[in-house]
Structure 1
Amino acid sequence: MTGAFRELTGFRGEKIVELCLTDYQAFDRPLFRPGFLGDKWPAVDFYVELEEVEGKRLYFFAQTKATADNSSLSEKGLHIYTKRRDIENLLQIPGPTYIFGVHEPTKRVFIRSIHSGIPVKAISRIPLTHELTSINLKKLHNEVCRYWSTTIHKPVSSVFA
């Protein structure tokens, strides 16, 4: 795969993730509001706020890995390429972090959580059960809400008060 084709695949993968996260066919309105951070951020591609949460602006971060290889999608899942450093970087970010794997030819998106306790090593596969369907979009929304409900939303004091 040439560098230009790899860049195009990545660009298209990012757009597919945005479309998937803002899908509202099963809901009154989208559950998420993704903000693309650009190519200069070393660990994440998206800052994603949750919609439908009153009084708070809950969020998570995500990195996108796209592939145009038809053989990367099998009954075992979507094969992606990450480096150990990708996982280390995501684990250093406070709050929920995920990797979105995109199978560009079929426009299917799969998700993998990067959270405390997972092995710090490259990830090469996301199970098919983790496809971002309407059901899993709702599960993602609920998971991020649960995380923030157990975490203090704001500091209780500051030297700059």
Structure 2
Amino acid sequence: MAKEDIGERGEWLFKLLMTELCGRPDPYFRPRFLGEKYPTFDFIIEVVDQPSCFFFVQVKGTTLGYTVKENRLRVQVNQDDVDLMVAYPAPTYVVGIDVNQNGVGYLLSVNEPRDNVASLTTQFPIDCNALKDLRDEVIGFWSTRNMVLAGSRFKE
């Protein structure tokens, strides 16, 4: 499979994971693809029942499997992308997708300064519990901020 095909499959599998219903009538999240030209991030993700709450994700798909010693997914995020993620004034994450298996993805927060991601921890698999926790984390982040632009010079 060509590298481009692996990445595209990873993005489709990511969308399936993020829109899992988890016993609810609606999913927790609404993924929106940002396009090939958008730097660093692949998706902006809205919280379905609170659309003012959102976060950004870089998706990394792989067919390379896992490291032997620590069972980490073989995907990488370079230091420039890590630094850009940390600088964003919104929650940011990397999601690694094992494209050899349906429904297998892992989440990593990249909101604080750190080194590049040489391989991705499998400590945070994306399942219904993780999706609920992620939703709560993102809502918690935005609920502590006043995001109203008051006094704009362009208002009537």
- Alignment TM-score, normalising by the size of structure 1: 0.87
Match of 2:130 among 133, 136, 145: 136
Instruction: For residue 26 of structure 1, report the CA deviation from its aligned partner.
Output: 2.9
Q: Tell me which stretches of 4 or more aligned residues in structure 1 moved more than 6 Å.
A: none
Match of 2:12 among 7, 12, 15: 15
Separation in structure 2 between the aligned mates of residue 21 and residue 123 of structure 1, nearest angstrom: 22
Instruction: For residue 43 of structure 1, report the CA deviation from its aligned partner.
Output: 1.3
One-letter amino acid of the counterpart of residue 39, structure 1: E
1:76 aligned to 2:71? yes
SS in 2 for 1:11: helix
SS in 1 for 2:84: helix
* Stretch of structure 1 that moved more, 121-130 or 62-71: 121-130
**Identity fraction in percent:** 28
Pair 1:12–1:133, CA change in 2 (3 A): same
Pair 1:160–1:134, CA change in 2 (3 A): same
1:111 aligned to 2:98? no
Separation in structure 1 between the aligned mates of residue 123 and residue 87 of structure 2, nearest angstrom: 26
1:100 aligned to 2:95? yes
Separation in structure 2 between the aligned mates of residue 52 and residue 78 of structure 1, nearest angstrom: 32
* Stretch of structure 1 that moved more, 67-76 or 122-131: 67-76
Instruction: For residue 70 of structure 1, report the CA deviation from its aligned partner.
Output: 2.7
Separation in structure 2 between the aligned mates of residue 19 and residue 144 of structure 1, nearest angstrom: 19
Separation in structure 2 between the aligned mates of residue 11 and residue 126 of structure 1, nearest angstrom: 19
User: Which runs of 5 or more residues in structure 1 are unaligned?
Assistant: none
User: Which runs of 5 or more residues in structure 2 are unaligned?
Assistant: none
Q: Contact 2:91/2:138 (CA < 8 Å) preserved in 1?
A: yes
One-letter amino acid of the counterpart of residue 45, structure 2: V
Q: Equivalent residues in 2 for 1:25-64 (5 A)?
A: 25-53=22-50, 56-64=51-59
- Alignment TM-score, normalising by the size of structure 2: 0.90
